[in-house]
């Protein structure tokens, strides 16, 4: 463990530490962020009440924050520090309007590097390891966030960023990297590119992959592990809470992500009523940062669906775990009254060995009816056979028609979903270099 003391605190001690840090954070925002002061006052949390908070259970009366708060106060309206104390900015891509901007003091960057070092160590990364970091460097938090964690741990960072996949594969071979950091979809992209390049597996020394920044399933994990012959682990985080390293799956338990609870207090709420749900129940994940200076967030609604688990873990850490993110609430598709998440479709598609883990979902509205077209590639094996036997890939071939029907009925039986399935030639679905675009919703155009 990177920080045995804080990763294995007794829960009573942990909660006392959380309460003290929460009060410091509330004082900080009360005095430095006018819009949050207004909200705290309205909820009855004046400085006196803040001092009198007796337990972290009192948090349930604090107001929530949401992504729209960051957008409405763009760019620096929620900062609790003057800009001359801000050492770095990051921002989301802003595909849905203005980006959300976050800032870090020097202490914030040090704490973030601590969270990322703990995460890497939980995944089995050791000082001296060569770590190939394919998370994007730039405004996105993935690249630089993990970079500082790698250096803090005492490992060697290869700041590859996304793209130029052939060159990355050459570097993986030449530098003998033991660890790969990337989105799960980019890891698969690399794995397929290695096959195309006829790179022998034993020329690559990878043992561990630490993947996150987008939803993925156990089925996807199995595919990545088989293709790359590594242990694939899940890492979670979001810019508003700090970036990558909010939570991380340990190599020993490989079942849920440990949350660094001395820095981030998690809650699960019912997304409709806002009520706090007990451990074990599924709901929206909410975080309060208790060490951040530049832009602390109070009860920040992530929009991510998960569950908390306080059961002991094989690794000995006492901090709670969150389950793999099932989906983002706003990614839920409603297709003719059936509610479902892309991850449920992914699970079904990846259960068939005739299909490859490259797919895209296209949603549209035709004559007032929602339609879903699933585009999924067939396996390389089928692709090659078609090429050999027929000289080309014919989507309407009777053999593919039989497979197409089988996929449609699998989706119907498992999810109650009627979708049109299109089987595509290997390599025809656009490959991701960062976060994969799984859903194209033409209704929003």
Cβ neighbours, 10 Å, residue 160:
25
Q: 192 or 236: whose CB is closer to ligand DLL?
A: 236
212 binds ligand DLL (CB under 6 A): yes
Q: Which stretch binds ligand DLL (CB under 6 A): 9-17, 197-205, 220-228, 229-237?
A: 229-237
Q: Going by C-beta distance under 8 Å and a sequence separation of 6 or more, which residues neighbour residue 351? A: 219, 410
- Give the number of residues written for the chain: 445
Does position 191 interact with ligand DLL (CB under 6 A)? The reply is no
Binding ligand DLL (rule: CB under 6 A), the pick from 99, 123, 215, 342 is: 215
**Which residues, 6 or more positions from 156, have their beta carbon under 8 angstroms from its beta carbon?**
128, 129, 130, 131, 150
Question: Which of 100/105 has CB closer to ligand DLL?
Answer: 100
260 is a site residue for ligand DLL (CB under 6 A): no
294 exposed, middle or buried (CB, 10 Å; 0-12, 13-18, 19+)? Answer: buried
Q: Is 400 left (phi over 0), alpha (psi -120 to 50) or beta?
A: alpha
CB 90 within 8 A of CB 177: no
Smallest gap from Cβ 182 to ligand DLL, in A, equals 9
Least gap, CB of 240 to ligand DLL (angstroms): 7
264 lies in the binding site for ligand DLL (CB under 6 A) = no
Contacts of 105 (CB under 8 A, 6+ apart): 81, 85, 86, 87, 293, 294
Cβ proximity to ligand DLL, 165 vs 185, nearer residue: 185
Site for ligand DLL contains 304 (CB under 6 A):
yes
Q: Please, what's the largest Cα pairwise distance for the chain?
A: 79
Phi first, then psi, for residue 55 (nearest 5°) are -155, 165
Nearer CB in complex with ligand DLL: 162/212: 212
- 325 touches ligand DLL (CB under 6 A): yes
Q: Are 105 and 133 in contact (CB under 8 A)?
A: no
Q: According to the binding rule CB under 6 A, does residue 306 interact with ligand DLL? A: no
Would you count residue 289 as binding ligand DLL (CB under 6 A)?
Answer: no
Among the listed residues 248, 292, 285, the one whose alpha carbon sits nearest the alpha carbon of residue 268? 285
- HEC per residue, 179-224: EEEECHHHHHHHHHHHHHCCCCHHHCCCCEEEEECCCCCHHHHHHH
Cα 281 to Cα 269: distance, rounded to the nearest angstrom: 9
Q: Does 235 bind ligand DLL (CB under 6 A)?
A: yes
- Of 180 and 403, CB closest to ligand DLL: 180
Bridge-based pairing of strands 308-309 and 321-322 is antiparallel
Q: Does 302 bind ligand DLL (CB under 6 A)?
A: yes
Q: Which stretch binds ligand DLL (CB under 6 A): 70-78, 153-161, 222-230, 239-247?
A: 239-247
* Residue matched to tokens 């979903």: 417
Q: How far is the CB of 42 from ligand DLL (least distance, A)?
A: 27
Q: x/- site string to ligand DLL, residues 109 to 148, per CB under 6 A?
A: --------------------------x----xxx------
Q: Is 374 in the site for ligand DLL (CB under 6 A)?
A: no
Question: Which of residues 8 and 309 has its CB atom nearest to ligand DLL in the complex?
Answer: 309
Work out whether 323 is an interface residue with ligand DLL (CB under 6 A): no
Told to check if 220 binds ligand DLL by CB under 6 A, we report no
- Enter the tokens of residue 202: 């034993």
In whole angstroms, the minimum distance from the beta carbon of 343 to ligand DLL comes to 9
In 3D space, the residue among 294, 269, 291 whose CA is nearest the CA of residue 279 turns out to be 269
CB of 427 to ligand DLL, least distance (A): 26
Site for ligand DLL in 73-102 (CB under 6 A): 92
d(CA 395, CA 375): 12
Helix, strand, or coil here: 306? strand
Q: Residue 104 or residue 140: which is nearer to ligand DLL going by CB?
A: 140
Among 234, 261, 344, 346, binds ligand DLL (CB under 6 A): 234
Nearer to ligand DLL, 25 or 133 (CB): 133
Are 225 and 191 contacting, i.e. CB atoms less than 8 angstroms apart? no
Closest contact distance (angstroms) between CB of 243 and ligand DLL is 5
Q: Give the residues lining the site for ligand DLL (CB under 6 A).
A: 92, 135, 140-142, 212-215, 234-239, 243-244, 302, 304, 325, 328
């Amino acid at each position: 463990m990177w920080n045995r003391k804080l990763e294995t605190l007794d829960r009573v001690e942990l909660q006392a530490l959380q309460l003290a840090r929460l009060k410091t954070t509330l004082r900080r925002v009360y005095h430095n962020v006018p819009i949050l002061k207004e909200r705290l006052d309205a909820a009855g949390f004046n400085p006196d009440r803040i001092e009198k908070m007796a337990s972290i259970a009192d948090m349930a009366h604090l107001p929530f924050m949401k992504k729209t708060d960051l957008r409405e106060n763009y760019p620096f309206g929620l900062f609790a520090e003057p800009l001359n104390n801000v050492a770095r900015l990051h921002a989301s891509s802003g595909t849905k309007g203005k980006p959300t901007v976050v800032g870090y003091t020097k202490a914030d960057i040090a704490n973030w590097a601590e969270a990322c070092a703990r995460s890497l160590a939980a995944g089995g990364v050791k000082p001296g390891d060569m770590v190939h970091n394919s998370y994007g460097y730039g405004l996105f938090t993935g690249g630089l966030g993990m970079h500082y964690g790698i250096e803090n741990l005492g490992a060697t960072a290869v700041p590859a960023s996304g793209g130029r996949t052939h060159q990355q594969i050459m570097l993986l071979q030449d530098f003998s990297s033991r660890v790969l950091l990337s989105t799960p979809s980019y890891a698969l992209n690399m794995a397929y590119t290695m096959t195309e390049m006829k790179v022998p597996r034993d020329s690559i020394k990878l043992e561990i992959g630490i993947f996150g920044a987008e939803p993925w399933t156990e089925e996807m994990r199995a595919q990545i592990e088989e293709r790359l012959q590594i242990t694939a682990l899940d890492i979670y985080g979001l810019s508003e809470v700090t970036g990558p390293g909010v939570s991380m799956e340990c190599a020993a338990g490989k079942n849920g992500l440990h949350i660094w609870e001395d820095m981030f207090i998690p809650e699960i709420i019912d997304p409709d009523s806002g009520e706090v749900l007990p451990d074990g129940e599924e709901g929206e994940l909410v975080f309060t940062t208790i060490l951040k200076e530049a832009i602390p967030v109070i009860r920040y609604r992530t929009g991510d669906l998960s569950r908390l688990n306080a059961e002991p873990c094989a690794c000995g850490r006492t901090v709670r775990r969150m389950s793999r993110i099932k989906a983002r609430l706003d990614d839920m598709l409603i297709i003719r009254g059936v509610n479902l998440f892309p991850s449920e479709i992914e699970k079904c598609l990846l259960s068939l060995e005739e299909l490859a883990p490259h797919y895209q979902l296209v949603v549209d509205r035709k004559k007032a009816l929602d339609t879903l077209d699933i585009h999924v590639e067939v396996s390389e094996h089928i692709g090659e056979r078609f090429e050999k036997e027929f000289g080309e890939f014919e989507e309407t071939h009777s053999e593919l028609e039989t497979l197409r029907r089988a996929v449609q009925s699998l989706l119907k039986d498992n999810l109650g979903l009627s979708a049109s399935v299109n089987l595509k030639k290997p390599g025809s679905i656009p490959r991701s270099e960062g976060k994969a675009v799984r859903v194209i919703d033409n209704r929003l155009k």
